[in-house]
Amino acid sequence: MDEDNNPFAGSGVWAGSWEDTSTAFGGMNSVYGYTPPSVPPSLESSSVLAPELAPQESFPSQLRHEEAEHHTEHLSDDDTEDGDSDTVDINTVVSHIGSVKESQYKEHIAIVDYGSIRDHGQTAVAYTIDYANTLVMRRYSDFDSLRKALVRLFPTVVIPPIPEKHSVVKYLVNPLNAKNDLRIIEKRTRMLSVFLQRCLELPQVREHYIWRKFLDPTADWAEVMRTPPISVIPQSNLHAPPLEPTKPSPLHLLLPIPHATSINNFKPREEDKVTDQEFRDYEHIFKMYRAHTQTMEKSIKRQKRHFKGLVKDLGELGAYYNAFSLENTYEMSNGIEKTGQAIDSAFLNSEALAFKILTTLQEPVSDISRTSNVALSVLHFRKLKEVQLFIIDTTIKRRRQRIDALKSAQAQAERLSQVLRRNAEQSPTIADAVRRLDKGEGVQKVSNPWARLFNAGSSATSTDDTSLMNDAEREEEVAKLMTELDKLDDCHKVILKDIELVNKAVKENCGELIAYFQSKWKTLMEDYTESLLIWLRENLNAWEEAKKEVDEMEVPVMPLPR
């Protein structure tokens, strides 16, 4: 049977030989070892114009790509993405966030079983979801497409992560067999249950049509992904209203898509610096969470390997002691047997602790790490909206400068014409020039190969010298630029409204996510501490009983050989 993203699917290499895990392994009761955490709900709620989308009658061809090449010229190079993340104190930043209420949503959703299904002629793993007394089966690829759809529908919301796909390299390092596949599937089951519960606690998600369809056993999920609302979302969320991406306006479709290199060195407007610093603080916090949890994950993996090795050694040692007690006919057999039993108890307790480390420590820490990455992506989206505003502001300024230059050239040409007319009676040459101007003929333009040498680096002026244009050409360009300015002013209003909505939504979402992290860390440490205490207490009891039996042992005096 093929797991959903098995890179060897169809190659004759199977991911396992079992057909129904609910029968073969007794369902989920033995592996679903902890309650998924909860997350507080969040808020409900290039160039200046993309050249391929801009109306051709409104935007002359020579202006289509100039902003895309030069809009970063005013960006500062002293403001990097990472910043001084290590110098920010989490407690200091959290103190100005204020109190955030935790989620009070009480409904629960979980994966209660998994097994093999036949889908389009292939055998694959399906997970059975239990919600509101309704069971629905979904594959891993369905969870993956659901999350991608939610990210597109809610760009300002931190959508919980799902367990990663397994690459070809991982399959080669960890060969395919039923045991390895079962371990992967059980882990996915637990983490996908956490994903579902956290999504359920987000009001935007649980009230959406896509979420309801995902939990509808009669819905064709592939068809849902091919039809509205998913099919009407623009390819980039930057071309859609941030809170309603399924309703893109014509003006949103004209907004610029910033270059990837522009965001790292972007500096906000003076009036936005306080807000920008607040979001930088959030960014620093999530980067620290990511860095610390990644380091912690490595330590946890080492600890888990240590306990697994200890379990193996204890299992072998306990077997030797038990076998030795059966062969001993003297009074020492009871003490040896009790020692073996204490070792067996340590074996079982350590095995349980190794599993607890996985479910109550490693997986939650990994979830926090990957959620921090998602939060950084949401903050990145907010910053891109600010860069959009910067591009539009810069382009409006350049268009106005160009209009002023054209009007200045026109006024200068009119003054020159008046002077020429006054002197035309005294000079035949001047009289001829006046006749040519009256006929609408411009001065012959001289092609200069060096004309674009410096102009290519700036879009503030056109490559055509305004002094070499006739009145009709200047008037035509001014009219086109005025039409562009009207569009740009409308885009400016749209992006300002978008940024206002994005800032409010992202700020609330980030504050609630930090509150969730703090609560999660507390629960995580309490669970791990309790597991360690149980492990120590059970081992202590077993060894105290063994010691009591060993103390009562009477070592027989063996006669010396003659």
Is residue 278 located within the same domain as residue 389?
yes
Q: What percent of the chain has pLDDT over 90?
A: 40
509 in Cβ contact with 201 (< 8 Å) = no
Q: How far apart are CA 267 and CA 264, in angstroms?
A: 9
Of 201, 233, 265, the position where a domain reaches its end is: 233
Q: Where in the sequence is the domain holding 492, given as residue range(s)?
A: 242-436+470-553
* pLDDT of 420: 66
378 closest CA partner among 288, 279, 265: 279
Q: How far apart are CA 221 and CA 25, in angstroms?
A: 28
Residue 452, CB-side half-sphere exposure with 13 Å CA sphere: 6
User: How large is the average pLDDT for residues 3-29?
Assistant: 37
* pLDDT of 15: 35
* pLDDT of 462: 47
371 in Cβ contact with 161 (< 8 Å) = yes
119 in Cβ contact with 103 (< 8 Å) = no
For the chain, the maximum distance between any two Cα atoms, rounded to a whole number of angstroms, is 154
Residue 431 lies in a domain: yes
User: How large is the average pLDDT for residues 482-503?
Assistant: 94
* pLDDT of 497: 96
* pLDDT of 309: 85
Q: How far apart are CA 347 and CA 344, in angstroms?
A: 5
Residue 129 lies in a domain: yes
Is residue 185 located within the same domain as residue 309?
no
Question: Out of 147-161, 269-283, 308-322, which region has the weakest mean confidence (pLDDT)?
Answer: 308-322
Of 198, 233, 268, the position where a domain reaches its end is: 233
Count the neighbouring beta carbons within 10 Å of the beta carbon of residue 312: 13
* pLDDT of 9: 43
* pLDDT of 508: 93
State the SS3 of 114-162.
EEEEEECCEEEEEEEEEECCEEEEECHHHHHHHHHHHHHHCCCCCCCCC
355 closest CA partner among 112, 34, 23: 34
* pLDDT of 376: 96
Of 177, 205, 233, the position where a domain reaches its end is: 233
Edge-to-edge order in the sheet of strand 134-138: 110-119, 122-131, 134-138
Residue 336 lies in a domain: yes
Going by DSSP bridges, is the β-strand pair 110-119/122-131 parallel, antiparallel, or unpaired? antiparallel
Is residue 295 located within the same domain as residue 313?
yes
* Alpha carbon 243 to its chain's center: 17
Tell me the angle at which helices 363-423 and 178-200 cross, rounded to the nearest 10 degrees: 60
Residue range 301-341, pLDDT digits in tens: 888 888 788 888 888 888 887 777 776 555 667 777 788 88
State the pLDDT confidence band at 97, using cuts at 50, 70 and 90.
Answer: low
Please count the structural domains in the chain: 2
Is residue 229 located within the same domain as residue 246?
no
* pLDDT of 70: 41
Residue range 348-388, pLDDT digits in tens: 888 888 888 888 899 999 999 999 999 999 999 999 999 99
Distances (CA, A) of 41 to 100, 412, 425: 10, 63, 84
Residue 291: both structure tokens together: 């860095």
Question: Out of 114-123, 221-230, 369-378, 397-406, which region has the weakest mean confidence (pLDDT)?
Answer: 114-123
State the SS3 of 459-505.
CCCCCCCHHHCCHHHHHHHHHHHHHHHHHHHHHHHHHHHHHHHHHHH
Asked if residue 261 has pLDDT above 80, the reply is no
Asked if residue 6 has pLDDT above 60, the reply is no
* pLDDT of 87: 53
Asked if residue 46 has pLDDT above 50, the reply is no
Residue 78 lies in a domain: no
Residue 443 lies in a domain: no
Is residue 175 located within the same domain as residue 307?
no
Residue range 393-425, pLDDT digits in tens: 999 999 999 998 888 888 887 777 777 676 666
Q: How far apart are CA 479 and CA 487, in angstroms?
A: 13
pTM: 0.74
Helix (H) or strand (E) holding 112: strand 110-119
Residues in a beta bridge with 127: 114, 138
* pLDDT of 85: 43
Higher pLDDT, 334 or 235: 235
Is residue 267 located within the same domain as residue 341?
yes
* pLDDT of 48: 32
Question: Out of 42-56, 388-402, 467-481, which region has the weakest mean confidence (pLDDT)?
Answer: 42-56
Question: Out of 1-10, 500-509, 516-525, 542-551, which region has the weakest mean confidence (pLDDT)?
Answer: 1-10
* pLDDT of 368: 95
416 closest CA partner among 398, 430, 426, 402: 430
Residue 537 lies in a domain: yes
Q: How far apart are CA 324 and CA 307, in angstroms?
A: 25
Instruction: Find the CATH number of the domain harbouring 496.
Output: 1.20.1270.60
Is residue 224 located within the same domain as residue 325?
no
304 closest CA partner among 253, 230, 354, 369: 354
ω into residue 229 within 30 of 0, thus cis?
yes
**432 burial type by CB count under 10 A (0-12 exposed, 13-18 middle, 19+ buried):** exposed
Asked if residue 245 has pLDDT above 90, the reply is yes
Is residue 173 located within the same domain as residue 252?
no
Is residue 228 located within the same domain as residue 291?
no
* pLDDT of 372: 96
Number of H helices, E strands in the chain: 15, 3
* pLDDT of 88: 56
Q: Average pLDDT over the chain, rounded to whole?
A: 76
Residue 530 lies in a domain: yes
DSSP conformation class of 2: B
CA angle, 16 as apex, 12 and 21 as ends, to 5°?
Answer: 145
Q: Which residues contact 549 (CB under 8 A, 6 or more apart)?
A: 334, 335, 338, 339
378 closest CA partner among 282, 234, 257, 272: 282
CB burial string 495-520: b at 16+ within 10 A, e below? beebbebbbebbbbbbbbbbbbbebb
User: How large is the average pLDDT for residues 110-127?
Assistant: 86
Is residue 259 located within the same domain as residue 277?
yes
Residue 302: both structure tokens together: 């080492």
* pLDDT of 487: 92
* pLDDT of 113: 94
Q: How far apart are CA 59 and CA 254, in angstroms?
A: 12
Residue 179 lies in a domain: yes
Is residue 201 located within the same domain as residue 300?
no
Instruction: Give the chain's radius of gyration (CA, Å).
Output: 35
Asked if residue 447 has pLDDT above 50, the reply is no
Higher pLDDT, 407 or 57: 407
Is residue 184 located within the same domain as residue 149?
yes
Instruction: Find the CATH number of the domain harbouring 124.
Output: 3.30.1520.10
Higher pLDDT, 549 or 171: 549
Residues in a beta bridge with 138: 127
Distances (CA, A) of 428 to 349, 420, 433, 476: 112, 11, 9, 31
State the pLDDT confidence band at 72, using cuts at 50, 70 and 90.
Answer: very low
